[in-house]
Amino acid sequence: MNLILIKKLNLSMRHTLFLLSFLTIFQSFGQVSYDFSAPLPIDEKTITSVSSSDFGTYISENNETKYVFDSNGIWIETTIFSSISKETIRESSKYIVRNGFIFGVISNDSLPCVLENDRYHFGLKNKEQMIGENSLNVLKKLNSSSYLLNFKENGGFTPSIFTFNGNILTIQHFDYETGTNQFSAIVNQSIKKVEGMNYITLSPSKEEWKELDNNILFGSKFTYLRK
Residue 5 confidence (pLDDT) above 50? no
**HSE-up of residue 109 (Cα within 13 Å, Cβ side):** 6
Of the pLDDT bands very low, low, confident and very high (cuts 50, 70, 90), residue 160 is: very high
How do 73-85 and 146-153 pair as beta strands? unpaired
Of the pLDDT bands very low, low, confident and very high (cuts 50, 70, 90), residue 121 is: very high
Q: Are residues 51 and 105 located together in one domain of the fold? A: no
pLDDT digits (tens, 9 = 90+) for 134-150: 899 999 999 999 999 99
Give me the pLDDT at residue 31, please: 81
Please count the structural domains in the chain.
2
Q: Are residues 90 and 192 located together in one domain of the fold? A: no
Q: Are residues 87 and 117 located together in one domain of the fold? A: yes
Q: Are residues 125 and 136 located together in one domain of the fold? A: no
Residue 3 confidence (pLDDT) above 60? no
Does a structural domain hold residue 18?
Answer: no
Q: Which residue has the higher pLDDT, 15 or 160?
A: 160
Tell me how far apart the alpha carbons of residues 71 and 57 are, in angstroms, rounded to a whole number.
13
Q: Which domain holds residue 219?
A: 33-55+132-227
Q: Are residues 125 and 217 located together in one domain of the fold? A: no
SS (H, E, C) 131-161: ECCCCCCEEEECCCCEEEEEEEECCEEEEEE
Integer angstrom CA distances of residue 182 from 156, 164, 175, 186, 207: 19, 27, 11, 9, 15
Does a structural domain hold residue 153?
Answer: yes
Q: Read off φ and ψ for residue 75, nearest 5 degrees.
A: -125, 155
